[in-house]
Amino acid sequence: MPVTIYISGSITNDPGHKQKFDAAESLIRASFPYVKIINPAKNEVDTTGMDADQIWQAFMEISREQVKRSDIMATLDGWEQSSGAVEEVALAKSNGILVCSVKELIK
């Protein structure tokens, strides 16, 4: 079974988040071509009729499950300023998942 790497970082308040997550995914893929990579910036939710808090909660529900299925969490720079990423890192650590930065991972 391949190793699963989850990318964690700021999404909500970062208009350039998709590019950052995609760049991280490409770097990880170049170093580890056979791993499964979970890029939460690609998650989709039908947000019809939802307010901002409900949208955030819906995306976090998906992310929490993805984190639990991961072997490694790779964080993007600035993840500490994101309440969602902080929650993801805490969840990963509480589940015994290795947490490191993308930079550390691809060294």
Distance CA 75, CA 49 (A): 31
| Residue 14 maps to a domain | no
| Residue 71 maps to a domain | yes
Domain hosting residue 66, numbered range = 4-8+22-106
Query: Taking the complete model, does pTM exceed 0.75, yes or no?
Result: yes
1: confidence class by pLDDT, cuts 50, 70, 90: confident
Looking at the structure of the chain, the number of domains it has is 1
Q: Which residue has the tokens 């993801």?
A: 88
Kindly provide the residue ranges of all beta strands, DSSP E only, lying in 2-104, ordered along the sequence.
4-8, 36-38, 72-75, 98-101
Distance CA 35, CA 53 (A): 33
| pLDDT tens column, 36-94 | 999 999 999 999 999 999 999 999 999 999 999 999 999 999 999 999 999 999 999 99
* CATH classification of the domain holding 101: 3.40.50.450
